[in-house]
Homo-oligomer: A and B are copies of this chain.
Amino acid sequence: MANDLKREGISEASATNERLTPRRGVEIREVGPRDGLQVEKPLSVEERLSLIKALVEAGATEIEAASFVSPKAVPAMAGAGELFKALDDSDEVRYWALVPNLRGAEMALESSAKALTVTISASPAYNLHNVAMSIEDSIRELTRITALVANSSNSREIPVDAVVSCAFGSPYEGDISPLDVAVLTERLLEIGVSRVTWADTTGMATPRLITALLESSSPPDVGLHLHDTRGTALLNAYVALEHGVRRFDTAIGGLGGSPFAKGASGNLATCDLVYLLDEMGIASGFNLSKLLEAASLLEQLVGHPLPSKVYAAGPRIATNS
Give the number of copies in the complex. 2
A320 beta carbon closer than 8 Å to chain B: yes
A73 beta carbon closer than 8 Å to chain B: no
A15 beta carbon closer than 8 Å to chain B: no
Given the known interface contacts A203-B313, A207-B279, A275-B230, the answer about A6 and B265 at a Cβ–Cβ threshold of 8 Å is no
Q: Provide the residues of chain B in CB contact with A206, threshold 8 Å.
A: 275-276, 279, 316
- Cβ–Cβ contact A320 & B9, under 8 A: no
Select which of B5, B207, B265 is within 8 A of A9 by beta carbon: B5
Q: Provide the residues of chain B in CB contact with A5, threshold 8 Å.
A: 2, 5-6, 9
Residues of A that sit less than 8 Å from B by CB: 1-3, 5-10, 12-13, 169, 171-172, 174-175, 202-204, 206-209, 211, 215, 228-232, 234-235, 238-239, 242-243, 262-263, 265, 269, 272, 275-276, 279-281, 308-310, 313, 316-320
Given contacts A3-B9, A6-B6, A208-B281, 16 further A-B contacts (CB under 8 A): A2-B12, A3-B6, A171-B320, A172-B320, A174-B317, A202-B319, A203-B313, A204-B316, A206-B275, A207-B276, A209-B279, A228-B309, A229-B309, A231-B308, A238-B239, A262-B319
